[in-house]
Chains A and B, each alone.
Chain A
């Protein structure tokens, strides 16, 4: 294992599973850097859903998400020779995706997104959904869907930085340290943004939450 990679691991990984992931990714990156373009396909397959989810939750727009996810991968492909393993590949890739999303959102600052998608039918049947409907003592999935819409609206009211922190922490499950790397800020800033963002969301949704 290279010293660079050892550094990357100590810098970036809070979750043990992410350390293993980082090692596998680094091997793939090195193959791409050596000219094996097919190795990049494996990285795409591995990260496409996570990248899509991040971008979708930042933009709340499916069409933009599809485009931006592809753009992020292409940008990563073009820049991969510069990737030295000083951070884990996924934080580097997420940074590209987040920056692309934020640029797009800034370009469309005045554009309102109302193309929120309803939960997939598959999700409606999921355990979490059932548990929620049970706890809410309702058999009306529409109520939860309505809450989801309210959450989407509330997320859109957050500043871009606050929204990004919420998406990466609460939805994508990144650690504070990893988010700090993606957003190129301190962990303290991440914690503070997260605290403020959740307060804001609670406030926006106070009529709907227990």
Chain B
């Protein structure tokens, strides 16, 4: 430890404390911070149970008509993706951890019994999409999302999994069942390879 200076400098405690206001990380730090936080937020969303999606969407679901996972898995949705997402690094031969992203979607077609529950085919609502190695997508991009293993919608990308989607209904918003809360479904996502 260094010795105190022989003469006291003309600086006050308040001066030093004010100087601490300027102790900030460099600008480039925030890009990494945002990326890490984004991953952690979506990982938190993807966690089943009280701490994860079940919690978040469970709260949303109180106002909604939930749909069964069976109904969800029968769907193919055409959606317009407005969201940005950080793509995972793909390691050959390995299935990557689930990557999730949210997006506002426009439900264009609901060829399933679910459509009968919606008053408005074009409603916008929140969707949560999970995928593992989806190629980079420029936005807005038409994406076919589905739970089953393939999509027959021409001109659409395959998306390994569609986890949750929403349909508009009157003044409120209704959300489809959150498949991430289902461990079996989650396992299927993780195992998907395209």
Inter-chain contacts of A70 with B (CB < 8 A): 33, 36-37, 40
Number of A-B contacts (CB under 8 A): 135
* Interface segment out of the listed A2-10, A52-60, A84-92, A94-102: A52-60
Partner of A198, one of B13, B21, B33: B13
Which of B2-10, B71-79, B182-190 lies at the interface? B2-10
Residue of A nearest to B82 (CB): A38
**Nearest A residue to B44, CB-CB:** A74
Contact flag A136-B9 (CB < 8 Å), given A38-B102, A170-B14: yes
Give the docked Cα–Cα distance between A209 and B10 (Å): 7
User: How many of B's residues come within 8 Å of A, CB to CB?
Assistant: 44
Q: A66-B33, A70-B33, A135-B10 are in contact. Are A34 and B5 (CB under 8 A)?
A: no
* Interface assignment of B28: CB less than 8 Å from any CB of chain A: no
CB pair A207–B17 under 8 Å, yes or no, is no
Of B54-62, B106-114, B149-157, the one with at least 4 CB within 8 A of chain A: B54-62
B4, B26, B45: the one contacting A208 at CB < 8 Å is B4
Most chain A beta-carbon contacts within 10 A, residue among B5, B23, B41, B51: B23
- Interface contact A210-B12, CB-CB below 8 Å: yes
Q: Say whether B16 contacts A35, CB under 8 Å.
A: no
In terms of DSSP, what is the predominant structure of the interface of chain A?
A: helix
**Residue of A with least CB distance to B83:** A38
Residue of B nearest to A52 (CB): B25
Known A-B contacts A74-B44, A151-B16; the reply to A56 vs B23 at CB < 8 A is yes
Q: List 17 A-B contacts (CB under 8 A).
A: A38-B83, A38-B104, A45-B34, A49-B24, A52-B24, A57-B20, A70-B37, A74-B41, A74-B44, A78-B51, A119-B22, A120-B26, A132-B11, A132-B15, A136-B11, A173-B21, A198-B13
Instruction: Please provide the 3 A-B residue pairs with the shortest distance between their CB atoms, ordered closest to farther.
Output: A207-B4, A170-B17, A136-B9
The interface of chain A, by Cβ under 8 A from chain B, is 34-38, 40, 44-45, 48-49, 52-53, 56-57, 62, 66, 69-70, 73-74, 77-78, 81, 117, 119-120, 122-123, 126, 128-129, 132, 135-138, 143-144, 146-148, 151, 166, 170-173, 198, 201-202, 205, 207-210
